[in-house]
C-alpha cells in the first residue's frame, strides 16, 4: 500500500494499564497545538469506528468500509502470490486501516496505542518520535513471557534505537530492565517520577516538566492514577515539541482540560449513579478499588453494587481479589463474547464477606437490572471487568434505561 505508516510522525504508547488515557490526553494536547491528529486505540466501546479518529472525530462508516476494502484487497493479492502465507489477523487488518486512513487524511501526527506487548505488535512498524511506556504488570504470559522483566522487554521494544521513551512509575524490576535495554540501544529514558507533581486536588496539579513548569493543570479524567498518565502525556508532548511539532505550554494546559475517555472511571449521575471502568487485569482492578474506596470515604455513595464480567483468558482471581471486598453486593455476568468466563465460576473466586449479597446472572442486561433492584437512590453501581461488557451496557445507562 506504499507504506502509509511512514507518511506522518507518530507517537506510540505501550504498557499494561493507562494506555488509552495517555493516548487521549496526548492527542488532545496535540490538537490544542493546532495539529491535525490521528489517534488509533483499542478496543472500542460501542462502534468499531471509535478506534480511528482524526481530531477526535471517528471515521465514517463509508470511510471505514473503503479503507477496509483496500486493505483486504491488498492482502488477498499477497496471499494469492505467495507473499503472505495466511490472511492478516483482525487487529493487523484494523491497524493497516488506521495507517492508510491517517495518510489519506494528511495527519500531522498519529498517536498509536499498542494492542498487545510491543515487539511483535502490528503498530510497531513506524519510527516514533517519542514512545510512552505506561505501568507494566504481569499479563498475557502465554504470549509475552512468564516473568515481569521479559514482559517489560517485549513492551519496551516499541522504542527504536536512539529513540526517546517517557516512562511511567514502574516496579523496580521493570525499571531495571528498561534502563538496561536503554543503555544497550542508546535510548533516552525520561523517568516521569523525576518531575515533581503537586496535587491541588483530584483534578488539578502543578507539574515541573523538562522544558517548562505548569501551574494548575486541569485533568478531567477521574482517579488519582490519571495524574501519572497526565504527567507522561505532558512529558511526551514536550518531547514532540523538541522534535519540531511546536507544542506550547498553552496547548498542554488547554489539551489536558479538554481530554475525555469514556469507560475509564466514568461517572454517570443518576439515582443511583453508576461508575464504569474497564479494569481487565489485577493492576487495573487495584487502581479501581482505590478509587472506589476514596469515593466512599468522600461520601459519594452509601452502598456499592458491583456488576462484573471477565474474559476467560484474564486473571479473574486477581481482579476479584481487589474488587470483591469493595462491594456490598456482587452480580457476576457474561461478557458478550465467546471468550467470556462463566459467571458462576467468577462468583466463587473470593470468599463472601459478612452481609455481602452475591448472585450470578448470565444475561448482561438482566444482571444490570438485578443490581439496580438491590440499590437505593444514594447508592452506586460499578460496572467493570471488561470494556466489551461496558460497551454493551453503556448505551442503556446513558439513556436512563
In whole angstroms, give the CA distance from residue 312 to residue 310. Answer: 6
Domains within the chain, CATH numbers bracketed:
4-258 (3.40.1190.10), 266-398 (3.90.190.20)
Contact of 31 with 25, CB cutoff 8 Å: no
Q: What is the pLDDT of residue 222?
A: 87
Return the residue matching grid coordinates 462468583: 347
Instruction: Please write the tens of the pLDDT for every residue from 137-194.
Output: 878 777 788 889 999 999 999 999 999 999 999 999 999 999 999 999 999 999 999 9
Burial class (CB within 10 angstroms; exposed 0-12, middle 13-18, buried 19+) of 395:
exposed
Render pLDDT for 61-81 as a digit per residue (tens, 0 to 9): 999 999 999 999 999 999 999
The residue-averaged pLDDT of 330-334 equals 98
Which grid coordinates are listed for 324?
470483591
Helix, strand, coil tally for the chain in percent (to 5): 45, 20, 40
CB 294 within 8 A of CB 330: no
- Cell numbers standing for residue 223: 482517579
Q: Express each pLDDT in 231-246 by its tens digit.
A: 999 999 999 999 989 9
Structure confidence at residue 202 as a pLDDT band (50, 70, 90): low
**Residue closest to 24 by CA, chosen among 230, 206, 231:** 230
On average, the pLDDT of the chain sits at 95
Amino acid at each position: 500500500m506504499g507504506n502509509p505508516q511512514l507518511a506522518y510522525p507518530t507517537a506510540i504508547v505501550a504498557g499494561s494499564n493507562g494506555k488509552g488515557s495517555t493516548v487521549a490526553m496526548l492527542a488532545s494536547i496535540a490538537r490544542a497545538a493546532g495539529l491535525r491528529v490521528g489517534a488509533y486505540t483499542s478496543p472500542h466501546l460501542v462502534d468499531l469506528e471509535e478506534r480511528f479518529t482524526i481530531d477526535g472525530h471517528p471515521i465514517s462508516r463509508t470511510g471505514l468500509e473503503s479503507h477496509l476494502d483496500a486493505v483486504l484487497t491488498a492482502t488477498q493479492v499477497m496471499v494469492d502470490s505467495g507473499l503472505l502465507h495466511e490472511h492478516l489477523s483482525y487487529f493487523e487488518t484494523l491497524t493497516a486501516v488506521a495507517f492508510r486512513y491517517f495518510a489519506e487524511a494528511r495527519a500531522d501526527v498519529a498517536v498509536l496505542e499498542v494492542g498487545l506487548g510491543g515487539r511483535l505488535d502490528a503498530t510497531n512498524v513506524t519510527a516514533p518520535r517519542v514512545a510512552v511506556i505506561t505501568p507494566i504488570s504481569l499479563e498475557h504470559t502465554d504470549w509475552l513471557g512468564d516473568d515481569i522483566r521479559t514482559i517489560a522487554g517485549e513492551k519496551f521494544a516499541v522504542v527504536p534505537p536512539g529513540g526517546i521513551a517517557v516512562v511511567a512509575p514502574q516496579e523496580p524490576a521493570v525499571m531495571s530492565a528498561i534502563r538496561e535495554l536503554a543503555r544497550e540501544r542508546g535510548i533516552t529514558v525520561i523517568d516521569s517520577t523525576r518531575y515533581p507533581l503537586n496535587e491541588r486536588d483530584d483534578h488539578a496539579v502543578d507539574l515541573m516538566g523538562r522544558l517548562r513548569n505548569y501551574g494548575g493543570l486541569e485533568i478531567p479524567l477521574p482517579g488519582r492514577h490519571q495524574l501519572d498518565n497526565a504527567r507522561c502525556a505532558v512529558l511526551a508532548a514536550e518531547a514532540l515539541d523538541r522534535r519540531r511539532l511546536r507544542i506550547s505550554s498553552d496547548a498542554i494546559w488547554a489539551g489536558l482540560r479538554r481530554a475525555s475517555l469514556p469507560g475509564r472511571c466514568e461517572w454517570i449521575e443518576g439515582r443511583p449513579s453508576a461508575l464504569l471502568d474497564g479494569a481487565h487485569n489485577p493492576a487495573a482492578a487495584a487502581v479501581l478499588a482505590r478509587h472506589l474506596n476514596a469515593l466512599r470515604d468522600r461520601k459519594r455513595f452509601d452502598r456499592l453494587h458491583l456488576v462484573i464480567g471477565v474474559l476467560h483468558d484474564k486473571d479473574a482471581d486477581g481482579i476479584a481479589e481487589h474488587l470483591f471486598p469493595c462491594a456490598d453486593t456482587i452480580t457476576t455476568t457474561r461478557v458478550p463474547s465467546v471468550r467470556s468466563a462463566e459467571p458462576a465460576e467468577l462468583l466463587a473466586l473470593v470468599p463472601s464477606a459478612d452481609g455481602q449479597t452475591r448472585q450470578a446472572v448470565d444475561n448482561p442486561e438482566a444482571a444490570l437490572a438485578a443490581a439496580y433492584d438491590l440499590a437505593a437512590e444514594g447508592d452506586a453501581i460499578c460496572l467493570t471487568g471488561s470494556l466489551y461488557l461496558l460497551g454493551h451496557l453503556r448505551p442503556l445507562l446513558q439513556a436512563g434505561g
